[in-house]
Amino acid sequence: MKQKWTYSIKAMSIAFALTGISSWSLAAIQGLHFSHKDWEIACDNTGTCRAAGYQSDQDIDLPVSVLLERAAGANSGIKAQVRILPLATTTTTREVQMQIANTAYGMIGLNREGIGQPSTAQTRALLKAVQGTSPVIFKNAQTHWTLSTAGASAVLLKMDAFQHRLSTTSALIKPGKKSCQAVLKAAAIPQVVISKYQSGKITQAKLNTAASQQMIRKLKATTNEDQCDLLFSQRFLSDDAMTIYPINAQNQLIQIPCWRGAYNMGSGFWLMDQNKQLKQLVTTSGETFSQGQIFSGHKVRGLGDCRSQDQWAWNGRKFVKSFSSLTVQCKGFAGGAWNLPSYVSIVISAQ
Q: Tell me the per-residue pLDDT of 61-94, one tens digit each, with 9 for 90 and over.
A: 999 999 999 999 999 999 999 999 876 544 556 8
* CA atoms 251, 255, 258, 260: torsion sign: positive
Are 159 and 233 in the same domain?
no
For the chain, the average pLDDT equals: 90
Residue 199 resides in a domain:
yes
Dump pLDDT digits (tens) for 6-40: 333 233 333 333 333 333 345 799 999 999 999 99
Given strand 95-100, what is the order of strands in its sheet? Answer: 103-109, 95-100, 136-139, 144-147
Mean per-residue pLDDT for 130-154? 95
Are 142 and 212 in the same domain?
no
Are 147 and 225 in the same domain?
no
Are 288 and 266 in the same domain?
yes
Range of the domain at 141: 32-189
Last residue within a domain, chosen from 189, 213, 234: 189
Last residue within a domain, chosen from 173, 189, 205: 189
Are 78 and 165 in the same domain?
yes
Last residue within a domain, chosen from 144, 166, 189: 189
Are 75 and 143 in the same domain?
yes
Residue 20 resides in a domain:
no
In percent, the amount of the chain with pLDDT more than 70 equals 89
Residue 3 resides in a domain:
no
Are 269 and 310 in the same domain?
yes
Residue 339 resides in a domain:
yes
Residue 62 near residue 333 (C-beta atoms within 8 A) = no
Are 218 and 302 in the same domain?
yes
DSSP string covering 156-203, please? HHHHHHHTT-TTBTT-SSS--SB-GGGSPPPPPPPEEEE-S------E
Are 158 and 200 in the same domain?
no
Residue 179 resides in a domain:
yes
Residue 1 resides in a domain:
no
Are 183 and 198 in the same domain?
no
Dump pLDDT digits (tens) for 264-308: 999 999 999 999 999 999 999 999 999 999 999 998 875 657 999
Are 180 and 240 in the same domain?
no
Are 136 and 248 in the same domain?
no
Q: What is the CATH number of the domain that holds 56?
A: 2.60.40
Residue 318 resides in a domain:
yes
How many domains does the structure of the chain reveal? 2
Band the pLDDT of 4: cuts 50, 70, 90: very low
Residue 230 near residue 259 (C-beta atoms within 8 A) = yes
